[in-house]
């Protein structure tokens, strides 16, 4: 059983630089893979809602009509499950963490459509309405024909 075993370590620590950083003046560098927080490239999002369905904590809300993508920052657990499952790969993990706060923090991203995109979407909507109308008319005609046969 020895005594003064720790003296070597103590002396070494006295004459070497500290193991800790002088934090606010010397911020920590994040690694390449650090999962800090979820970010979105809203322009390539198609609002499919896959991230909302896959999120284990239910932090993400996707609204297709308003073209908004919303995340509750402090509900998110940075598992990157949404990033893995995004079909358009428009979600990614930023290295910086969300700053702590006293209130619940929600970040909402909205896709602003250009006039051409808006026109295209209107056209698509109209085409879909036409299609639905045509399908319903066909169905009604078929039903009428069936009734006639009886």
Partner 1 sequence: MSTRSIVPFGPQHPVLPEPIHLDLVLEDEKVVEAIPSIGFVHRGLEILVQKREFTEYAYVAERICGICSYMHGMSYCDAVEHIMNVEIPDRAKYLRTIWSEMSRIHSHLLWLGLVADAFGFESLFMQSWRMREKILDMFEASTGGRVIFSVNQVGGVLKDMDSAMLNHFVAELGDVEKDLKVLSKTFLDDAAVNNRLRNVGFLTKQQAHDLSIVGPFMRASGIKRDIRQLGYNAYKDLEFEPITSEIGDSYARCDVRIREIFQSIDLIRQAVGKIPSGDIAAPIKGMPEGEHFTRVEQPRGEAIYYVKADGTKFIDRFRVRTPTFANIPGMLETLKGCQFADVPILVLTIDPCISCTER
CA distance 106 to 98: 11
79-116 burial code (b ≥16 CB/10 A, e <16): eeebbeebeeebbeeeeeebeeeeeeeeeeeebeeeee
In degrees and rounded to multiples of 5, residue 29 shows phi and psi of -90, 130
| Sign for the pseudo-dihedral over CA of 106, 60, 64, 117 | positive
Q: Examine residue 75 and tell whether it contacts partner 1 (CB under 8 A).
A: no
Q: Examine residue 145 and tell whether it contacts partner 1 (CB under 8 A).
A: no
Q: Examine residue 73 and tell whether it contacts partner 1 (CB under 8 A).
A: no
Interface pick for partner 1 out of 2, 24, 87, 100 (rule CB under 8 A): 2
CB of residue 131 vs partner 1: minimum separation in angstroms?
Answer: 32
Residue with tokens 């308003």: 66
Query: Which residue stretch of 28-36, 67-75, 118-126, 140-148 sits at the interface with partner 1 (rule: CB under 8 A)?
Result: 28-36
Interface pick for partner 1 out of 93, 98, 111, 113 (rule CB under 8 A): 93
Q: Examine residue 78 and tell whether it contacts partner 1 (CB under 8 A).
A: yes
Which positions touch partner 1 (CB under 8 A)? 1-3, 5-6, 8-10, 19, 30-35, 54, 56, 77-81, 84, 93
């Amino acid at each position: 059983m020895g005594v003064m075993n720790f003296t070597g370590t103590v002396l070494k620590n006295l004459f070497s630089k500290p193991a800790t950083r002088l934090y606010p003046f010397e911020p920590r560098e994040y690694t390449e893979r650090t999962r800090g927080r979820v970010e979105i490239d809203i322009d390539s999002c198609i609002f499919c809602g896959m991230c909302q369905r896959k999120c284990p904590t239910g932090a993400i809300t996707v609204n297709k009509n308003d073209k908004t993508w919303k995340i509750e920052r402090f509900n998110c657990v940075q598992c990157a499950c949404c990033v893995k499952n995004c079909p358009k790969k428009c979600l990614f993990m930023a290295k910086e963490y969300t700053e702590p706060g006293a209130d619940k923090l929600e970040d909402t991203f909205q896709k602003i459509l250009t006039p051409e995109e808006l026109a295209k979407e209107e056209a698509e909507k109209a085409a879909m309405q036409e299609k639905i109308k045509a399908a319903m008319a066909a169905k009604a005609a078929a039903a009428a024909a069936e009734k006639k046969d009886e």
